[in-house]
Amino acid sequence: MDTVAAAGPDRVVYVACDPAALARDVARLAGHGYRLDALRAFDAFPMTHHVECLALLRR
């Protein structure tokens, strides 16, 4: 996440299959001035515990 933030994009789109890793990385990007603008969860694997997440962060 430090490398992504160092590149300086206005927006970061993050696709995650692990909500804990997503939370960790969103917090790290927040430390670089990004904010979570949108978050969607997708049940791509019905009847399992797996959830895919799509997050949009903006500087």
**Per-domain residue ranges of the chain:** 2-58
The neighbour count for residue 57, using CB atoms within 10 Å, is 25
Catalytic choice (13, 15, 17, 41) = 17
Give me 27's structure tokens.
């917090």
Asked whether the beta carbons of 14 and 27 are under 8 A apart, the reply is: no
Q: What is the pLDDT of residue 50?
A: 87
Q: Is 53 a catalytic residue?
A: no
Average pLDDT of the chain is: 95
Is the pLDDT reported for residue 37 higher than 90?
Answer: yes
- Percent of the chain whose pLDDT exceeds 90: 86
Bridge partner residues of 42 (DSSP): 52
Q: Residue 3: its pLDDT value, please? A: 95
The pTM of the full predicted model, rounded to 2 decimals, is: 0.87
46: left (phi over 0), alpha (psi -120 to 50) or beta: beta
In the CATH scheme, what is the code of domain 2-58? 3.30.70
